[in-house]
Amino acid sequence: MVRIATFNVNSIRARLPNVLDWLREAGPDVVLLQEIKCQDDAFPALEIEAAGYRAAVHGQKSYNGVAILSKHPITDVVRGLPEGEPEGDEQARYIEATVAGLRVASLYLPNGNPAPGEKFDYKLRWMRRLVAHAHNLLATEQPFVLAGDYNVCPTDDDVYDPANWQDDALCRPESRALFRQLCHLGLTEAFRALHSEAGRYTFWDYQAGAWQRDNGLRIDHLLLSPQAADRLVTCDIDKAPRGRDKASDHTPIWVELQ
DNA sequence: ATGTCCCTATGTTAGGGA
């Protein structure tokens, strides 16, 4: 059994005590982090190692940044989506590696607001690159997990107030269509494979008492290849970290694979 | 009620991003 969690931490350095507490309590085998907001050499590797985890980092100063933590060895690390931007991609939003016989990726999809606009165009281009990469990975027929902050609410069931969010980059039809395309390639969205209820969220804004009012969004997802989906036992959202002092605005979601 | 938090730098306050 392997437990894999994804967590947008909104700065690993600002969040380190919370993340270490959560690692001790939840103890997933593999952790996919997003928005670490630091360069590789500023990543708190010693503290993470002391907690029992190895780390592979694709960092960036101030913005973005992703990492893979694992209790088991991490090999064959790839930083950045291999399907690149024409002019190159400066933004650290993707890292992939092999852990415990499984290919895992931590991804931080662009937010895309305001939409329409340049940022939304970049989001859609990034999603098309991810679709192309997923297609290539599927051809290998290996078990893999593409997880992270997708910045997409797949349906209105995943939004506390759909009418007010319909024009947002997280909910627009173009974003949802590309997310569906990813699933229709043959990937299984783990949470929806096991839960049909509306109103289950992974993100609550810091503003306007969103957490206290449960004004949330479900934007953090784990997508499983057919070989990984065959092994899916459990998927759940761990709301506890969001309720703590100095919390990230996201909370972890995790799967258990046989 | 644009109500918060985190980052950086022409740095102890302001602006960008989410």
Tokens 């029992």 correspond to: A52
Contact between A233 and A156 (Cβ < 8 Å): no
> A102-108 and A94-99 as β-strands: parallel, antiparallel, unpaired?
antiparallel
Strands (DSSP E) contained in A37-91 are 54-58, 66-70, 74-79
Query: Quick one: which of A145, A149, A137 has its CA closest to A33?
Result: A149
**CA A40, CA A57: separation in Å to the nearest integer?**
6
- pLDDT at position A163 is 97
CA of A9 to C1' of B3 (A): 22
DSSP A224: E
Domain boundaries, chain A: 2-257
CA of A1 to C1' of B12 (A): 51
**Contacts for A210 with CB less than 8 Å, ≥ 6 apart:** A204, A216
Return left, alpha or beta for A170; rule: phi > 0 is left, psi -120 to 50 is alpha, else beta: alpha
CA of A209 to C1' of B3 (A): 7
Contact between A238 and A26 (Cβ < 8 Å): yes
CA of A207 to C1' of B2 (A): 9
Contact between A109 and A133 (Cβ < 8 Å): no
Nucleotide at minimal C1' distance from the A39 CA = B7
How many alpha carbons lie under 13 Å from residue A20 in its C-beta half-sphere?
A: 14
Rg (CA), chain A: 17
Q: Against a cut of 0.95, is the pTM above it?
A: yes
> A2-8 and A30-34 as β-strands: parallel, antiparallel, unpaired?
parallel
User: Domain spanning A2-257: which superfamily?
Assistant: Endonuclease/exonuclease/phosphatase (3.60.10.10)
Name residue A243's amino acid: G
3-class SS at A179?
helix
Contact between A222 and A235 (Cβ < 8 Å): yes
CA of A36 to C1' of B18 (A): 13
Q: Which residues touch strand B (CB under 7 A)?
A: A 10-11, 13-15, 37-38, 61-63, 110-111, 113, 119, 206-209, 246
CA of A207 to C1' of B3 (A): 6
Look up the protein residue whose alpha carbon has the minimum distance to the C1' of B7: A62
- Strand B bases, protein C-beta under 7 A: 2-8, 17-18
pLDDT averaged per 10 residues in sequence order, chain A, 258 residues: 98 98 98 98 97 98 97 98 92 97 98 96 98 98 98 98 97 98 98 98 97 97 98 98 97 98
Nucleotide at minimal C1' distance from the A210 CA = B3
- pLDDT at position A86 is 86
Report the sign of the C-alpha dihedral through residues A18, A79, A136, A118, in that order: positive
